[in-house]
Structure 1
Amino acid sequence: MTTIKTSDLFVDILISEGVKFVFGIPGEENLDFTESMRHRADQIKLILVRHEQAAGFMAATVGRLTGQPGVALSTLGPGATNFTTSAAFAFLGGFPCLFITGQKPIKNSKQADFQIINVVEMMRPITKYTKSIPSGNMLAASVRRALSQSVAEKPGPVHIELAEDVAAEETASRIFETLDFRRPIAEPKAIDRATEILLSAKNPVVIIGAAANRQRAIRALRAFVEEMGIFWCSTQMGKGVLDERSPLCLGVTALSNKDYCHYGIDFADVLLICGHDESEKPPIIMTPEGTRKVIHVGFSQANVDNVYSPSAQVVGDVANAVWQIHEKLRASGKKWDQPILKRYKELSDPLLRTGMDDSAFPMNVTRVVADIRKVLPEDGILSLDNGLYKVVFARLFQAFQPNTILLDNALATMGAGIPNAIACKLLFPDRKVVSISGDGGAQMNLPELATCIQYKISSVHIILNDNAFGMIKWKQGLAGFENWGLDLQNPDFVEIAKAYGAQGYRVAKAEEFAAILETAMNSEGVHLIEVPFSYESMAADLIQVPKKAEAVVEQIKQEFGTCVVENCLEE
């Protein structure tokens, strides 16, 4: 009987699944695994990071962008615990990835409980599947099951623990074949009910959620809204599924039920919500009287609560469900002309351009958004960390293609922006990639600049610097509390960049920023741009834009007549 070393088999399985990169920091318990990788270095590459959390973010981003699990590797104990934030990021976000952790020998303990914690139980609440491999003969089946669960809806992280002695042993096991499968399609009666509700609608609006960000669903949604003439918007993590330059785009549900986009949604009498993911902030506050009908289209049934209670459900493959509804509506000859929504878009769009040419310094974030959009090509990727500026980018930065703006509206963790950008660049070396972080979030994984330098990953990283944890400081002020505990004494970011071997720039006036960014993007190497910015102007815009949108609604009432508007607008 032919046998193979268990760690060799594990690496061969990953290669057979198309894995190109393993991100992580090995420990002594992983040495058999890394040796197996070394012998296959022409097929799979180890990206040695500076912190396991960053490795997990990178693996999750590979899964997010490809639909196939990215892979992260750590040792036991502290290496494994460092995975928890990025595992939670992938779990809530719906990003397929595999976390591999080492362990002391399990058949002959040599160090008692040194560094040993129950990693499997630690990972259980934040993964879809977690298992410690008891013998080499169990590896192939367990990995096959883990990878299968990782990509099943809702996608997410899985975890395999491989002990040192198990990795080294011989096994007669072989790679399990990957089986193709088709997701279940929606039941015909559900399609008929959804179509019936839509046919009765005067002003339907489509809301695109995170779970609709799948390639087949993108094509189906594009054909549907364009032919039917239905206005649409997206959640933050559904952003980019459709081209936001569309005259039918109402924007992004970004802040609260009183944001500008929500005033537009308030005109709708029917909402077709495709790919809602309850891990995101609710896309819309439901009308308490239930007068607006809501159709849930998702891979699984809706989880009903006080902010999401649909009138009808279409459960099954989202792409197929949208296609079926589209075919039914096409056969009926129904198309929509929505003059009220057209007028709202015409009047509200200019509200978003306020400050885009602002020369104030420190910079207005609206100007930062506008300049990046001018410089970044259509297929360029923007990787956002977390902070109040993320809401501004969600609202103002137009995405032209899917997955060209990566933001996290599920776990909403700081520290992910730079690692996510590195993963993007490794996947798409010919595309422009820019990360944006606040000064607080940037320092959580700033050492990954060294990873960029080591592996020659050309990329651009912007730090918005207000010398504070600005979002919480702003909230502190809104709550009427004294400014306390949130100001930062920051290092010289330009000098830090140079110390890592990167190019460093500090913007000195608003008019410089676009030129510096363009120079950095069109140059080889790693570039860090520090942008002093002001939270005050950003916070003012976040408050003023909804107030202006409310005035637009009143103008529309006057133009169309209150009774006409109130047929679909709730007071």
Structure 2
Amino acid sequence: MKASDLMVKALEAEGVEYIFGIPGEENLDLLESLRDSSIKLILTRHEQGAGFMAATYGRLTGKVGVCLSTLGPGATNLVTPAAYAQLGAMPILMITGQKPIKTSKQGRFQVIDVVDMMRPLTKYTTQVVSGDRIPSVVREAFRLASEERPGATHIELPEDIAAEETKAPLLSPSAVRRPIAEYKAINAAVDMIEKAKSPVLLIGAGANRKLTAKMLGQFVEKTGIPFITTQMGKGVIDESHQKFMGNTALSSGDFVHRAIKRADLIINVGHDVVEKPPFFMEVGGQQVMHINFETAAVDPVYFPQLEVVGDIANSIWQIKEAVQPQDHWKLDFYDDVHQAYFEHRCAAEKDDRFPILPERLVKEVRDAMPKDGIVTLDNGIYKIWFARNYPAYYPNTLLLDNALATMGAGLPSAMAAKLVHPDKPVITVCGDGGFMMNSQEVETAVRLNLHIIIIILRDDAYGMIKWKQSNMGFNNYGLDYNNPDFVKYVESYGGMGHRIKAANELSPLIKQCLKEKTVHLIDVPVDYSLNDETLNKKIRELSAKL
């Protein structure tokens, strides 16, 4: 068969449902092979949007998301999604085209070394030099993309290789079982937990996988040990739980940091070095237990005394089965932290000022969404408020990026979430700056008949950088801009546009939009002027009283 046909069959054998992307001249054989395939091509308006969609598909399903581009400028547009998936531990395969490699009639036109470009951003990158190599190359790309720690892989398929004939057989995916922690490590972990006086459970990005949530929930129920999450660990355990103390959204000084500082043992599950450190270790200070798929990367502020290395869910299960709650544990302080955090959050949510304050915005979105609804975030200062104030009741129901923290990913992530979960409500919250970086994908969403709600937080500036500019003593310069009429903008694509004029209009409007199945955009003027007071001053003052 033709090599491009074999490529598609290899992708089908891996269970690929969608390929997101923009084909070019060098992909035409592959495009023709896809035409009669079970795989659905999702044509996007920019390669970056395709990459973000593929990465989010991988994040939500655990399977490898696939995206496609042509050579040269198409491939370079996948650099940011590659970094997004690699840092965020999202399994993705990028397929790019290339000019013929056996003969060339156009010199170096549009030709760059894409494989070399992708090398520092991926777990695996290669050029297919023979159709016979396709089965093994595809199998290896999928294996590496999905195994712990998940990430990005890349295959370059040159035009002439795609067109050649091959008789190579497909390779079936192999059955893999992750290694589990040895019993000595489990026994040491149980002993360390039982001897501690004030243990705390910290849930990181690596714990946000299948089965891990169930085991961690059982661990908390049996032991009564309170838990905290990082931004990308949100929702692993239901955050309405009485033992939830909050999220490490701020750098320091929040209620959760008081709890972490008081602990004599931090049970650190799924720690991912790409996230901002939720605590700093000191020699002679509190003990830290590292439970993860892989060993700890030691640096001056992270050097755990015990490492339990293996499948996280299994490790937690083994520890949970053996550990016994102890009478000498002192956990009452953590109940005070939970109560103080909850009371402060509720007080801030009642503010009626308009333009809307971020705390009120988060409350209105949470009230309007069902427990299993999915909210995706772009990148901006509102991300801190959602991470901190938005209770997540299930894993992967608040999708934010605390790894690359790139702008422009919010809308494509929502689109992928809706494809994966067509039965669940999906909202994306974007700053006006981040939205405009991939706003053209509104057309893709309308074309695919996706029922999503886009909430634009409009302050007519790169608000987060402007806030930091002010805090660092710089003059107000270079960060203000003009916006289009967002209501007319979305309507020009065939969606529906809305604008609120009071804070209490938002929740009813969201509920209305959830009933009307189309792409909705809500223009929400936002006021970040009190961020310094509410983030830096008030929280520190209140938490210091604990």
TM-score (norm 2): 0.98
Match of 1:76 among 71, 77, 80: 71
Q: Say whether 1:207 aligns with 2:202.
A: yes
Residue 522 of structure 1 and its aligned partner are, at CA, apart by: 1.6
Q: Secondary structure at the match of 1:245?
A: coil
Q: Say whether 1:456 aligns with 2:449.
A: yes
Q: Which residue is equivalent to 1:473?
A: 466
Residue 357 of structure 1 and its aligned partner are, at CA, apart by: 1.9
Change (3 A) 1:545 1:181: farther
Match of 1:7 among 4, 7, 15: 4
Q: Say whether 1:155 aligns with 2:150.
A: yes
Tell me how far apart the structure 2 counterparts of residues 333 and 310 of structure 1 sit (CA, whole Å): 23
Tell me how far apart the structure 2 counterparts of residues 423 and 281 of structure 1 sit (CA, whole Å): 26
Tell me how far apart the structure 2 counterparts of residues 231 and 279 of structure 1 sit (CA, whole Å): 24
Q: Secondary structure at the match of 2:262?
A: coil
Tell me how far apart the structure 1 counterparts of residues 365 and 204 of structure 2 sit (CA, whole Å): 25
Tell me how far apart the structure 2 counterparts of residues 336 and 498 of structure 1 sit (CA, whole Å): 59
Residue 336 of structure 1 and its aligned partner are, at CA, apart by: 5.1
Match of 1:276 among 257, 271, 274: 271
Tell me how far apart the structure 2 counterparts of residues 335 and 7 of structure 1 sit (CA, whole Å): 65
Q: Quick check: 2:98–2:156 contact (8 Å CA) kept in 1? A: yes
| CA-to-aligned-CA distance 1:413-449 (integer Å, 9 cap, x gap) | 0000000000000111111000011010000000100
Q: Given residue 232 of structure 1, which amino acid in structure 2 is its aligned partner?
A: F
Q: Quick check: 1:22–1:73 contact (8 Å CA) kept in 2? A: yes
Residue 203 of structure 1 and its aligned partner are, at CA, apart by: 1.2
Q: Which residue is equivalent to 1:294?
A: 288
Q: Which residue is equivalent to 1:45?
A: 40
Q: Say whether 1:421 aligns with 2:418.
A: no
Tell me how far apart the structure 1 counterparts of residues 151 and 538 of structure 2 sit (CA, whole Å): 36
Match of 1:325 among 313, 319, 325: 319
Tell me how far apart the structure 2 counterparts of residues 291 and 335 of structure 1 sit (CA, whole Å): 20
Residue 368 of structure 1 and its aligned partner are, at CA, apart by: 0.6
Match of 1:220 among 211, 215, 218: 215
Percent identity among equivalent residues? Answer: 49
Q: Quick check: 1:228–1:336 contact (8 Å CA) kept in 2? A: no
Residue 335 of structure 1 and its aligned partner are, at CA, apart by: 9.2
User: Which ranges of structure 2 fall in alignment gaps of 5 or more residues?
Assistant: none
Q: Say whether 1:190 aligns with 2:189.
A: no
| CA-to-aligned-CA distance 1:529-568 (integer Å, 9 cap, x gap) | 1100001123321113432333332xxxxxxxxxxxxxxx
TM-score (norm 1): 0.94
Tell me how far apart the structure 1 counterparts of residues 181 and 139 of structure 2 sit (CA, whole Å): 27
Q: Which residue is equivalent to 2:345?
A: 352
Tell me how far apart the structure 2 counterparts of residues 540 and 502 of structure 1 sit (CA, whole Å): 38
Tell me how far apart the structure 2 counterparts of residues 302 and 159 of structure 1 sit (CA, whole Å): 27
- More off after superposition, 341-350 vs 114-123: 341-350
| CA-to-aligned-CA distance 1:115-134 (integer Å, 9 cap, x gap) | 00000000000010000000
Q: Secondary structure at the match of 1:314?
A: strand
Q: Which residue is equivalent to 1:558?
A: none
Residue 12 of structure 1 and its aligned partner are, at CA, apart by: 1.3
Q: Which residue is equivalent to 1:531?
A: 524
Q: Which residue is equivalent to 2:14?
A: 17
Q: Which residue is equivalent to 1:57?
A: 52
Q: Secondary structure at the match of 1:536?
A: coil
Residue 65 of structure 1 and its aligned partner are, at CA, apart by: 0.5
- Once the two structures are superposed, the pairs formed by residues 374-393 of structure 1 within 5 Å of their partners are 374-393=367-386
- Once the two structures are superposed, the pairs formed by residues 363-442 of structure 1 within 5 Å of their partners are 363-442=356-435
Q: Secondary structure at the match of 1:219?
A: helix
Q: Quick check: 1:466–1:534 contact (8 Å CA) kept in 2? A: yes
Q: Secondary structure at the match of 2:544?
A: helix
| CA-to-aligned-CA distance 1:344-389 (integer Å, 9 cap, x gap) | 2223320122321211111001111001000111110000000111
Q: Quick check: 2:13–2:172 contact (8 Å CA) kept in 1? A: no
Q: Secondary structure at the match of 1:47?
A: strand
Residue 337 of structure 1 and its aligned partner are, at CA, apart by: 6.1
Tell me how far apart the structure 1 counterparts of residues 459 and 395 of structure 2 sit (CA, whole Å): 31
User: Which ranges of structure 1 fall in alignment gaps of 5 or more residues?
Assistant: 554-571
Q: Given residue 404 of structure 1, which amino acid in structure 2 is its aligned partner?
A: T
Q: Quick check: 2:200–2:263 contact (8 Å CA) kept in 1? A: yes
Tell me how far apart the structure 2 counterparts of residues 277 and 544 of structure 1 sit (CA, whole Å): 29
| CA-to-aligned-CA distance 1:235-254 (integer Å, 9 cap, x gap) | 10010100000000011111
Query: How many residues are matched?
Result: 546
Q: Which residue is equivalent to 1:117?
A: 112
Tell me how far apart the structure 1 counterparts of residues 195 and 328 of structure 2 sit (CA, whole Å): 12
Q: Quick check: 2:194–2:326 contact (8 Å CA) kept in 1? A: no
Q: Which residue is equivalent to 1:258?
A: 253
Q: Which residue is equivalent to 1:556?
A: none
Q: Quick check: 1:348–1:549 contact (8 Å CA) kept in 2? A: no
Q: Given residue 174 of structure 1, which amino acid in structure 2 is its aligned partner?
A: P
Tell me how far apart the structure 2 counterparts of residues 290 and 442 of structure 1 sit (CA, whole Å): 47
Residue 509 of structure 1 and its aligned partner are, at CA, apart by: 1.1
| CA-to-aligned-CA distance 1:284-318 (integer Å, 9 cap, x gap) | 122x2432110000111101112222111111111
Q: Which residue is equivalent to 2:163?
A: 168
| CA-to-aligned-CA distance 1:148-183 (integer Å, 9 cap, x gap) | 000111000100000011111111112111111111
| CA-to-aligned-CA distance 1:20-57 (integer Å, 9 cap, x gap) | 110000001001111111011xx211111010001000
Q: Which residue is equivalent to 2:303?
A: 309
Q: Say whether 1:513 aligns with 2:512.
A: no
Q: Given residue 185 of structure 1, which amino acid in structure 2 is its aligned partner?
A: I
Tell me how far apart the structure 2 counterparts of residues 333 and 341 of structure 1 sit (CA, whole Å): 16
Q: Secondary structure at the match of 2:173?
A: coil
Tell me how far apart the structure 2 counterparts of residues 218 and 512 of structure 1 sit (CA, whole Å): 35
Q: Which residue is equivalent to 2:93?
A: 98
Match of 2:24 among 27, 45, 51: 27
Tell me how far apart the structure 2 counterparts of residues 428 and 452 of structure 1 sit (CA, whole Å): 14
| CA-to-aligned-CA distance 1:208-264 (integer Å, 9 cap, x gap) | 010111112111111101111110011100101000000000111111132221112
Change (3 A) 1:334 1:143: farther
Tell me how far apart the structure 1 counterparts of residues 534 and 290 of structure 2 sit (CA, whole Å): 32
Tell me how far apart the structure 2 counterparts of residues 260 and 139 of structure 1 sit (CA, whole Å): 53
Q: Secondary structure at the match of 1:148?
A: helix
| CA-to-aligned-CA distance 1:315-352 (integer Å, 9 cap, x gap) | 1111111111112214x877956212112222332012
Q: Given residue 483 of structure 1, which amino acid in structure 2 is its aligned partner?
A: N
Q: Quick check: 2:237–2:393 contact (8 Å CA) kept in 1? A: yes
Tell me how far apart the structure 2 counterparts of residues 274 and 539 of structure 1 sit (CA, whole Å): 31
Q: Quick check: 1:295–1:310 contact (8 Å CA) kept in 2? A: yes
